[in-house]
Structure 1
Amino acid sequence: MTANKEASSSPNVAVSANAPDSETLARMALSGDDEAFFRLVTDDRERLLRIAYAYMKNEHDALEAIQEATCRAYAKLRKLKEPSLFLTWYTRILINCCIDEQKRKRRMLPMLRLPEGAAIDRLPDERLRLDAAIAKLAPHYRHIIILKYYEDMTLTEIARLLEKPDGTVKTWLNKALKKLRADLGEGGGGFHDRWGEDGTLRI
């Protein structure tokens, strides 16, 4: 009796179990359901904010980029061909918004995420050098490093996001790492322990 009463008093369990997935929400949004569209963005907000922050340096500009991306995505929603790829499609729009805003403000240097509560003048020299080295990379190399090492995306996921062949993305990653190694050095300077035996970078 008690168990039944507790089950009936917890409707959220049933609601959560039946919550629509992102593809279902995208199909609903394409059918004119605005609530479904904004729920898609809200549910993925934390990841989107991390990506925007990596490009925009600060939370205010990152939130502005997300707002602009949301407006653009809403306006272009009918162009989405595959509902299952909504989040990939939206992320691509967000990155483009970040790039546009950087160009507008002439602030082309992406700041990597700071530890919570950290002040920039207290950051280790090693971290500042790493930020500067990544900032000097060509945009497409910078995208790869941010998405690979800060968002932990696979090369296949990055390729789909950037609409490039897997082989191209792998080549870009290797070239980006090679440039970073040349800039930072493989030994000394505090960077010797950041390079794996396979040549990858440990952020």
Structure 2
Amino acid sequence: MELQELVVRAKKGDEAAFYELMQLHKIRLYRIALSYLRNSDDAVEALQEVTYRAFRSIRKVKEPQYFTTWLTRILLNYYNDELKKRKRVLVSDDFISLMGAEHQSNWLEVEEVIGKLEPKIRQVIELKYVHDFKIKEIADILECPEGTVKTWLNKGLKDLRGQLGEKGELGYA
């Protein structure tokens, strides 16, 4: 069954359609949660909370084709709620793969630099380079213009390069 049709059915109260939607998205959501929360148990808890929040507000989905974006937004909002509770920065271990072998020994330094980035900039970098979201998708998730996402992305990468030393050291900008 097509995703949009499932969303329409779920909005009308079809619990089986909602369950199928969550089954289709659970692996991607889990991976995103794991990269942000860096703990399997926390990622599973996040998935449970996202499922609950999505079920509770499924009728608010305006455009069925954006269901995945809507669901990812719920996950990021949950992450931000948790971040506020913990009052500390959580950065994905997966980000290290973007920097190459020369930075693996300096991961603590990189993690510290990433932790100093503004939350929106940090989210843009993670969504783009860890989860392979397109600029347009990131803009939809964060509810901001694509130009703003590009600006935050460039600023974040520039800040990372500047903090880590040699220009272009990260190898992906």
**2:81 matches 1:100:** yes
Q: Which residue in 1 is equivalent to 2:127? A: 147
Aligned to 2:107: 127
Which has the larger Rg?
1
Structure 1 unaligned regions, length at least 5: 1-19, 116-122
Which residue in 2 is equivalent to 1:179? 159
Partner of 2:143: 163
Deviation string, structure 1 residues 122-164 (Cα, Å, up to 9, x no partner)? x932333322222221100011110000011111111111111
Identity of aligned residues (%): 44
Give a deviation string over 1:85-128, Cα, whole Å, max 9, x none: 1111011001100111122122322232389xxxxxxx932333
Distance apart, 1:26 and its partner CA:
0.6
Taking structure 1 as the reference length, what is the TM-score of the superposition? 0.76
Which residue of 47, 55, 62 maps to 1:81?
Answer: 62
- Contact 1:72/1:93 (8 A) holds in 2: yes
Provide the rounded CA distance (Å) in 2 between the counterparts of 1:181 and 1:114.
14
Closer, same or farther in 2 for the Cα pair 1:153/1:114, shift >3 Å?
Answer: closer
Structure 2 CA distance, aligned partners of 1:21 and 1:186?
48
Corresponding residue of 1:28? 9
Are 1:138 and 2:118 counterparts?
A: yes
Q: Could you tell me whether the CA contact under 8 Å between 1:186 and 1:195 is conserved in 2?
A: no
Letter in 2 for 1:139: P
**Which secondary structure does the structure 1 equivalent of 2:93 belong to?**
coil
CA distance in 1, matches of 2:141, 2:95: 25
**1:98 partner letter:** Y
Segments of structure 2 that go 5 or more residues without pairing to the other structure are 97-102
Please give the alpha-carbon distance, in whole angstroms, between the structure 1 residues aligned to 2:107 and 2:8: 43
Contact 1:49 1:63 in 2 (8 A): yes
Name the CA shift for 1:111/1:138 in 2 (closer, same or farther; >3 Å).
same
Q: Relative to total residues, which structure has the larger helix share, 1 or 2?
A: 2
Contact 1:28 1:36 in 2 (8 A): yes
Higher relative contact order (CA 8 A, sep 6+): 2
1:43 matched to 2:19 = no
